[in-house]
Amino acid sequence: MKFGARILKTGVAISLALYITHWLNLESAAFAAIAAMFAIQPTIYRSYQTIVEQVQANLIGATLAIIAVQTLGNEPIVIGLIGVLVIAINIKLKIESTIPLAIVTVIILMVNPGDNYLTFAITRFSVIMIGVFCAFLVNLIFLPPKYETRLYHKNVKNMEQVGQWIRLATRNDADRKILKEDLTKINESMIKADNYYLMFKEERSYFKGSDYTKNRRLVLFRNMISTTYKALAILKSLDQHDHKIYQMPDTIQKLIQDQLDHLTNYHQKILMKYIGKVRYHSPDDAINQLEKDEKELTEYFMDLYDHKQVEREQWMNIFPLIGLIIDYNHHLIHLDRLVESFHTYHASENEVKISDSYPQDE
C-alpha cells in the first residue's frame, strides 16, 4: 500500500481541524474534520479555487437551510427539497464539486436544530468553515507538491516501457497477450502524465519573471508528452500489423528495426539531456543521421511499390507505420532543438531541479 502526500495532508488537515474546534470549545468537531476531508486538493491553486467555491456553496446551503427551518420546519420532505434546490443552484453556478459538502451543511443545519436555532446554525456553519480553511492552510504549507518532478519521471517511465516493447515487437519477440495488457496500463499512465501536466500548469509563480521560465518548461513538457504519444502510436501499429510486417522482405524489416532502435535511443537521450545527464552535443550530427536513415527507409519502401516487389495490399498495410515513424522522427528533432534552446538561452533562469528518485503518486 502506497501513502502519497495527499493522504498525509488529509490526515494533517483533519487533525488540525479537530484541534482548532476543541481549542475554540465548539461543538460537533467531527463536522470540521469532514469538511477538511472534502476540501483537500492536489495543488495549491485548486485548493484556493476550492475554498472560494466552498464558501459560496456553503453560504447558499446554510442560507436556504435557515430560511427553510424558520418557515417550513425540518420535516424530511423539506430537507430533501432544500437538498435538491442546493444541488440545482450549484450546478447552475458550475461549482458541482462543492455539492457533497453543501448537502452535508444542509443536513447538519436542518436535522435536530434545537431551541436557539440561529446560534446553532451559525456555530455549525463556523465549524464547517474551519475545516475548509484548515485544508487550505495545510495545502499551502505542508508537503507542497512537485509536479514538475512527477511529470518528468512519469514521462521517462512511460517512454522506457514503450521503447522496450518496440524493441521486442520489431524482433518478433513480444508476447502479444502481455503486450495488450501492458498497452492498457501504458494508456492509463499516459493519462496520469496529462493530469500531472495540468497540475504543473496550474501551479502559480510568485514572481513575474518566473512566469516566462515556467512557460518555457510547459512548452517542453507538452512536447515531451506528445512525442511519447507518437512512440506509443508506433507500438500500437506494430501490435496491430505484426503478422503483415513479417510478410515483408527482410530488408525493410531490418530498416524498420534499425530506425526504431535509433529513434527510441535518441528519445531517451533527449529526456536525460533535459536534466543534464547526457553530455551536451549539438543535435546537428544526430539529426543528420536520422534524416539519412529516414531517407533510406522511405526510398527503399517506395522502391518496393515501384518495382512491384510486394503486393499492393501488403504495401498499403505497412504504409501507415512508415508514416508514423517519419512523424516520430520529426517530433524528436523538434524536441531536441527545444531542449537545446532551453539550456542555451537564459541558462541561469532555466536551471532544472529534478529529483533522481521517482516520487509516489498521490
Q: Could you give all domains of the chain from N- to C-terminal order, each with its CATH number?
A: 5-141 (no CATH), 147-344 (1.20.58.220)
pLDDT of 296 higher than 80: no
pLDDT of residue 175: 84
pLDDT of 196 higher than 80: yes
Q: How confident is the prediction for the chain on average, in pLDDT?
A: 82
Q: What residue spans of the chain are helical by DSSP H?
A: 5-23, 29-39, 44-71, 76-92, 99-110, 117-141, 147-170, 176-202, 208-240, 242-245, 250-274, 284-306, 312-344
Q: Kindly report which listed range (8-12, 47-51, 63-67) carries the lowest average pLDDT score.
A: 47-51
pLDDT of 229 higher than 90: yes
Range 343-355 average pLDDT = 64
pLDDT of residue 87: 92
pLDDT of 267 higher than 90: yes
pTM over 0.75? The answer is no
Q: Kindly report which listed range (3-12, 185-194, 303-312) carries the lowest average pLDDT score.
A: 303-312
pLDDT of 1 higher than 50: no
Nearest Cα to Cα of residue 99 among 121, 83, 82: 83
Residue pLDDT, tens place only, 10-27 = 888 889 889 998 898 887
CA distance 284 to 78: 73
Nearest Cα to Cα of residue 105 among 83, 76, 78: 83
Residue with C-alpha cell 479537530? 18
pLDDT of 120 higher than 90: no
Q: Which residue has the higher pLDDT, 359 or 31?
A: 31
pLDDT of 335 higher than 90: yes
